[in-house]
């Protein structure tokens, strides 16, 4: 069966510091991978998605970036965090092709102070 891991589970970072969140998927090959952010009082917002190694699409302009160095690894980064980057970050995977469910990881709670 497929499993998805995210770490760290919680993170408290000062404004202006860098960020690296990691997501890995087990039990599937060539998945589509997604990064979402869930802020208080708002719905889940898609940040990035990837349909293959090195292929990244950005949905929302911001100071975040994403990379996919391996088939089942997805990384979310920032060079300098802003207060507005605080939120619950969720990684998800889905099988390739049209109309596929997305399955979410446990999430990372990021607080920027």
- Could you list the residues that contact another protein (CB under 8 A)? 32, 34, 41-46, 49, 51, 59, 90, 92, 94, 98-99, 101-107, 109
54 vs 98 by CB, closer to another protein: 98
12 versus 15: smaller Cβ distance to another protein: 12
Please report how close the Cβ of residue 106 comes to another protein at its closest, in angstroms.
5
Task: Please state the closest distance from residue 80 (CB atom) to another protein, in A.
Answer: 26
Q: Give the nearest distance from C-beta 61 to another protein in angstroms.
A: 15
**Long-range pairs, 12-17, Cβ under 8 A, ≥24:** 12/110, 12/111, 12/113, 13/81, 13/110, 13/111, 13/112, 13/113, 14/81, 14/112, 14/113, 15/80, 15/81, 15/82, 15/83, 15/112, 15/113, 16/80, 16/81, 17/80, 17/81
Quick one: 14 or 29, whose CB is closer to another protein?
A: 29
């Amino acid at each position: 069966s497929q499993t998805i891991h995210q770490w760290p589970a919680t993170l408290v970072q000062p404004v202006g510091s860098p960020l690296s969140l990691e997501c890995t998927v087990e039990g599937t090959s060539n998945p589509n991978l997604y990064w979402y952010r869930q802020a208080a009082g708002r719905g889940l917002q898609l940040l990035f998605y990837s349909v293959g190694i090195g292929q990244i699409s950005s949905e929302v302009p911001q100071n975040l970036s994403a990379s996919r160095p391996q088939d089942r690894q997805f990384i979310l980064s920032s060079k300098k965090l802003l207060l507005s980057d605080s939120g619950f970050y969720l990684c998800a995977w889905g099988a390739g092709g049209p109309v596929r469910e997305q399955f979410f990881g446990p999430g990372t709670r990021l607080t920027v102070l």
